[in-house]
Chain A
Amino acid sequence: MATRIPFGPQHPALKEPINFMCEVSDEKVLSVRPRLGYIHRGVEKLAENRTYNQNLYLIERICGICAFAHVTCFSQAVEEILNIEIPSRAKYIRTILAEMERIQNHFLWLGDVGHEMGFNTLFMYSWRDRELVLQLIENISGKRVNYAMNTIGGVRRDITSMIMPSLKEGLNHLEERAKYYTEMCTKDPTVLRRTVGVGMLSPSDALELCAVGPTIRASGIPRDVRADDPYAAYEEIPFKVITYDGRDVASRLMVRLDEVLESISIIRYALDNLPNGDVRVRVPRRVPKGEAVSLVEAPRGEDLHYVRADGTEKPVRVKVRAPTLANIPTLCKMLIGENIADIPVVIAGIDPCIACAERLVFVDTATRKRWMWNKQELRKYATKWYRKK
């Protein structure tokens, strides 16, 4: 007898609302139907009604975790339409931040997958280490998440020689931790029992269902936008595309952990070879008629932005395809035949970010935000704070 078990929209294994209707018989999953749309905010529609500069901040808020990837992607598209080349120092800084974001995302994910396996100790440890990356990012940009570093035509803040030593020291510590986790995840018997052979995805299925990011790389296919369609400074920085052939959650775990190490070496290289010069160029407010497709390897996989401009201050169309949406068909495929107990681990295995996948339509014009200060008070506070400094 098959029972239908809803997995979400409210479920402790899912940090964000999405619904998978699983048909289950004897603890085995027979079929899965995804249903999205619980947190649609209408970002694409909103973007058509905002100027390019305002859109930067809107796009940054698509997702709190891969915010930088989205903004980089959007600014690249607009820069392409404007036909401007950003300074190479800006390119390097974008690369550094993108890789830092990858590290923090992968640590976050490691903790999350640990939690789904009931291994809360791993969760506590890796999130504590993630805090260190966030601090490094705060050192550079002034914020822990949604860094507001990118702008059309470059980046807003420079990496000064003053913070270089602390960055390098932080990287050393992170490398040590990443190696520790790699060793732990390859040796701990309970982790292995819960991940090896779970959520299998064959390479042909992965290709057919258009999987992206670590999910497809764990099936042995080296698809990585950084290598296939290099952006920012990736053309000049040597790095390996990590692949594993295990096709299961354990491989996805290893791909991500190795990527952390790879990211650390990319950041080191970029810091050592940081070119001198400006970090941004001035750009006009109006963007000429044109269109551009921009791809970025977000921590979770390929992120696509399509922008069409018509010569005004506002875009005609901004299309965002976050990596999670691309991985949902593969996820449904992976879940079939799995144990109920493995559903959370498999879902966590693709590193879903529902807020990313859903950003269309629903326009809520009523603001329910509650501010401690209104705008003037906030400004007053800010000036006072800066004067004190």
Chain B
Amino acid sequence: MVPQEIVTLLQVFLFPGFLFLFCLAFFSDWMDRKLVAKFQNRYGPLYTGPKGILQPVADFFKLLAKEDIIPIAADKTVFSVVPMLVLALSMTPLFLIPMIDYSALIWFEGDLIVIMFITTLVIVAMFMGAWASTNRFSTIGGMRVGLQMLGYEIPMTIAMIGPAISSKSLSVSGIVQSQAVGIWYVITQPLGFAVALICLLAHLQRVPFDVPEAESEIVAGWLVEFSGKKLALLKLSKNFELVLAGSLLVSLFLGGPLGFWLPHPSVYFFLKLIVCIFILSNLRALFARFRIDQVLEGAWKYLTPLALLQIILVVI
């Protein structure tokens, strides 16, 4: 028998830990790129690996090898810490999500709150990075990151509280387990699902909510001064965010790794994740970018009331 400690170590580092998450992040990036390309009548990644599946990995290593420039005027400590911070923060919540079993690798009552807290911290870290790089475009981008958060964060939290109330548990694993006996919350709470989806799109800073890094307006927004390995880490953390967004939707609304006839629950989780990424990519290809004032207006006028309405319906 293998000692329990080694099993845990293997779980943390290989499956479903770091290695698996890295693979998942790269895979979801590839799928997203490929899907958007298909919607836009293009090919997308094509040459690296079969159907270009290794392209995100290649891009990551290419960026790692590139020159790393730190602007003279930048606050060097903060500027260097931010990419690592963002990566760590976007990766941590993934350990709290049940992927291969009904309960996650680490779980405790209240981990949903922790996830929400960490997603906000990521935004704060981004703002710090933008501020530290002292570029006019990053400053505007950083401001927009903060402003956008003020818009979507509250409806997102409210929408996520819905499943928690229904299952009487503040832990993601608890919510998944309660869906195992009941029905998926996407059926009872369609409004909450929609609001969460839109808010996560805004959190991911993707079209139509890519205001903070609007390429044609403010170059790359808050990312503009990051280069080389810092940029590689930031891009990777964006992929983790995408996985996180998909997994949150899967666990909170789509029943997590639940299923009947497939050999392993993780396969289920995986399929559902693909569906979620499909929806997120689809939305990205369909719209033009909103303006920051339009984002805030929409969030407060429509998303928040809708999310509240869902909560009221749940409580009743």
Interface residues of A (CB under 8 A from B): 3, 5, 11-13, 27, 114-122, 124-125, 128, 188, 190-191, 193-194, 339-344
Q: Which of A188, A191, A343 contacts B217 (CB 8 A)?
A: A343
| B78-124 with Cβ < 8 A to chain A | none
Instruction: Assess whether B289 is interfacial by the CB under 8 Å rule.
Output: yes
Report the minimum CB–CB distance from A119 to chain B (whole Å): 4
Q: 25 A-B pairs, CB-CB below 8 angstroms?
A: A5-B136, A11-B219, A12-B215, A13-B216, A13-B217, A27-B140, A27-B292, A116-B217, A118-B207, A118-B214, A119-B288, A120-B207, A120-B285, A122-B288, A124-B40, A124-B41, A190-B288, A190-B289, A193-B291, A193-B294, A194-B289, A194-B291, A340-B140, A341-B211, A344-B217
Q: Could you say which residues of chain A place their CB within 8 Å of the CB of B286?
A: 121
* A116 to chain B: closest residue by CB: B216
Interface string of B126-154 (1 = CB under 8 A from A): 00000000001000100000000000000
Report the minimum CB–CB distance from A315 to chain B (whole Å): 40
Contact between A12 and B219, CB atoms less than 8 A apart: yes
Q: Could you say which residues of chain B place their CB within 8 Å of the CB of A117?
A: 216, 288-289
* A344 to chain B: closest residue by CB: B216
Report the minimum CB–CB distance from B4 to chain A (whole Å): 50
Q: Could you say which residues of chain A place their CB within 8 Å of the CB of B291?
A: 193-194, 339, 341-342
Q: Could you say which residues of chain A place their CB within 8 Å of the CB of B294?
A: 193
Q: Which of A27, A114, A341 contacts B214 (CB 8 A)?
A: A341
State the CA gap A188–B294 with chains docked (Å). 15
Q: Could you say which residues of chain A place their CB within 8 Å of the CB of B208?
A: 118, 190
Instruction: Assess whether B20 is interfacial by the CB under 8 Å rule.
Output: no
State the CA gap A193–B209 with chains docked (Å). 13
Contact between A121 and B40, CB atoms less than 8 A apart: yes
* B292 to chain A: closest residue by CB: A341
- Knowing that A122-B288, A124-B40 are A-B contacts, what are 4 other residue pairs whose CB atoms are under 8 Å apart, sorted by A's residue number? A115-B216, A190-B288, A194-B288, A339-B293
Specify the main secondary structure of chain A where it touches its partner. Answer: helix
A27, A121, A188 — which one has the most chain B CB atoms within 10 A of its CB? A121
Ranked nearest first, the 9 interchain pairs of A and B with the lowest CB-CB distance are A118-B289, A119-B288, A124-B40, A190-B288, A117-B288, A13-B216, A341-B291, A190-B287, A344-B216
Instruction: Assess whether B302 is interfacial by the CB under 8 Å rule.
Output: no
State the CA gap A5–B143 with chains docked (Å). 15
* A193 to chain B: closest residue by CB: B294
State the CA gap A194–B211 with chains docked (Å). 13
Contact between A119 and B289, CB atoms less than 8 A apart: yes
* A114 to chain B: closest residue by CB: B288
State the CA gap A192–B189 with chains docked (Å). 31
Q: Could you say which residues of chain B place their CB within 8 Å of the CB of A120?
A: 40, 207, 285
Q: Could you say which residues of chain B place their CB within 8 Å of the CB of A118?
A: 207-208, 210, 214-216, 287-289
Report the minimum CB–CB distance from A8 to chain B (whole Å): 11
Q: Contact residue range for chain B? A: 20 to 34
* A198 to chain B: closest residue by CB: B291
State the CA gap A350–B208 with chains docked (Å). 24
State the CA gap A105–B288 with chains docked (Å). 21
Instruction: Assess whether B54 is interfacial by the CB under 8 Å rule.
Output: no
Q: Could you say which residues of chain B place their CB within 8 Å of the CB of A125?
A: 40-41
Interface string of B193-232 (1 = CB under 8 A from A): 0000000000000011011001111110000000000000
Report the minimum CB–CB distance from A125 to chain B (whole Å): 6
Instruction: Assess whether B270 is interfacial by the CB under 8 Å rule.
Output: no
Report the minimum CB–CB distance from A330 to chain B (whole Å): 21
Contact between A12 and B216, CB atoms less than 8 A apart: yes
Instruction: Assess whether B290 is interfacial by the CB under 8 Å rule.
Output: yes
B40, B216, B289 — which one has the most chain A CB atoms within 10 A of its CB? B216
State the CA gap A122–B216 with chains docked (Å). 15
* A11 to chain B: closest residue by CB: B219
Report the minimum CB–CB distance from A120 to chain B (whole Å): 6
Instruction: Assess whether B39 is interfacial by the CB under 8 Å rule.
Output: yes
Report the minimum CB–CB distance from B42 to chain A (whole Å): 6
Report the minimum CB–CB distance from B53 to chain A (whole Å): 22
Report the minimum CB–CB distance from B195 to chain A (whole Å): 18
Q: Could you say which residues of chain B place their CB within 8 Å of the CB of A5?
A: 136, 140
Q: Could you say which residues of chain A place their CB within 8 Å of the CB of B211?
A: 341
State the CA gap A281–B177 with chains docked (Å). 86
Q: Could you say which residues of chain A place their CB within 8 Å of the CB of B136?
A: 3, 5
State the CA gap A13–B216 with chains docked (Å). 4
State the CA gap A191–B140 with chains docked (Å). 23
Interface string of B4-32 (1 = CB under 8 A from A): 00000000000000000000000000000
Q: Could you say which residues of chain A place their CB within 8 Å of the CB of B288?
A: 114, 117-119, 122, 188, 190-191, 193-194
